[in-house]
Amino acid sequence: MQIKEIAAKLNISPRAIRFYEEKGLIRPAKSADNQYRSFTEADVWKLQCIIALREVGMRIEDIRMALIEVEAGNQSELLALLEIQRSVMFSQWLELKQMVETTDEMISMLKQKQSLPLADVYTLAEGSRRLRELRSSWHDHWNFDKLAPLHDERVAGGADYPNYDEALDQTVRWVAPAPGEYGLDIGTGTGNLAGRFLAHGIRMAATDQSREMLNHCRRKYPGLETKLGNFLSLPFTDRQFHFIVSSYAFHHLTDEEKKLALAEMKRVLKPHGRICIADLMQGGLPTGSPHTPASPADERHFADIPRLIGWFEASGYLATYKMLDEQLCIMYAVPIMRQ
C-alpha cells in the first residue's frame, strides 16, 4: 500500500504520514528502485494508534514510549500513559472553565454597572490566576508511589493509625448510602474506604495522585472505577456523585488548598450531595487518647474544625463531627439548601 492510499484510508494527509516517519514513529519499507514507501497492515495499525493518541493531545515523545510498550505487550504502561494524559487534559479543562466563569462575571458586572471598574476586574482576574497557580503547583511531597507496597501493613499495624478501622466504619455508617447511589473516594490510597462501600453493593469511583497506590487498589478491587487525580483537580465532570468521602488525606493540603478542594467536591456532587471526611483535625473537643500517626513527611496541615464548619455553613451545608481521639475526627456535611 502506497502513501496516497493509506492517507485516503485513514483520512490524514501524506504530509502528516511523512512527519510521523521523520519522528521515527513509523518505518515503512522503501523500494530500492524509486524509494517509494510501501506500507504494511502493521504500519496501518501503528498509524491508527498514533492518530488516536494525537487526538487526545499526547506528545510525540509520549506516543513513541506508548508504541514501544504496546509492541512489547505491556498494556499496563500504556494505561498509565493514558491516565496521565487524561489527568493533564482535565486540569486544562478546569482552567479553561475557570476562565470562562471569570469572563462571565465580567460580562455580568458590565451589564449591571454599565462600566467595568478596574479594581473589580483586577480582583476577579487575581482570583482566577491564584486558582490556576494552586492547581498547577500541586506536587507529591510524600512519595506515595514508594510507600504503596507497605501501606496496608502500616494501617493494619495499629501503631501508626490507631482507630483506623473505626474511622472508616463510622464513615460508612454516617453516609448511610442508599441502593443506586454513586460515591467518590478522594485520596483513596489502596482503596480501603471505597472497598467498604463496595461491600455494601454501592457503586464507587476513586481517585488518587499516586499511580502505585491505584495499581494496588485495582488489584484489591477490580470493580472499582479509578482515575489518576488529586483534590485540586478532581478528574470528573460536574454533578456526578451522591456523596464524597475521604480518609487520612485532607491534612496534606494547606488551608488555601483545602478551600479549593472543598469547592471541587461541591462541583462534582449532585444537588443535595453529602461529604464525609475522616482525618486529623484540631480545635475539637478532645476524646480518648492522643493520636500521633507516622507521616511520610512533615507536610501536615490539620484542618481547623471551627473554620471547616464555617466554610460548610457559608456554602449551604450543615456539618457535624465526632472526635475518635484528640486529633482523629470525622466530619459529615449535608446541604440544607438546594445547590
The secondary structure of 7-19 as a DSSP string is: HHHHT--HHHHHH
What single-letter DSSP state applies at residue 58? -
Contact 188, 208 (CB under 8 A): yes
In this prediction, residue 86 carries a pLDDT of: 81
Per-residue model confidence as pLDDT tens digits over 127-164:
777 777 776 666 666 678 888 989 999 998 777 788 99
Strands (E), 251-305: 269-282, 303-304
In this prediction, residue 247 carries a pLDDT of: 97
pLDDT interval class at 296 (50, 70, 90) = very low
Q: What is the dihedral of CA 168, 144, 198, 321, to 10 degrees?
A: 30
Contact 182, 240 (CB under 8 A): yes
CA dist 328 and 164 (Å) reads 9
- pLDDT above 70: percentage of residues in the chain: 91
Residue 172's CB: how many other CB atoms inside 10 A?
18
pLDDT of 299 over the 70 cut: no
Domain ranges of the chain: 3-71, 85-136, 144-335
CA dist 13 and 78 (Å) reads 26
> In terms of C-beta distances under 8 Å and separation of at least 24 residues, what long-range contacts does 104-112 make, across chains too?
none
- C-alpha cell recorded at residue 119: 479594581
* Class for the domain spanning 3-71: mainly alpha
**Per the confidence metrics, is the pTM higher than 0.85?**
no
The rounded mean pLDDT for the chain is 87
Per-residue model confidence as pLDDT tens digits over 59-94:
899 888 888 887 887 777 777 778 878 887 888 888
User: 326: closest CA among 265, 280, 261?
Assistant: 280
Element containing residue 242 per DSSP (H, E)? strand 241-247
CATH of region 144-335 = 3.40.50.150
pLDDT of 183 over the 90 cut: yes
Tell me how long the chain is. 339
Question: Between vectors from CA 314 to CA 285 and to CA 101, what angle results, nearest 5°?
Answer: 140
Element containing residue 67 per DSSP (H, E)? helix 60-71
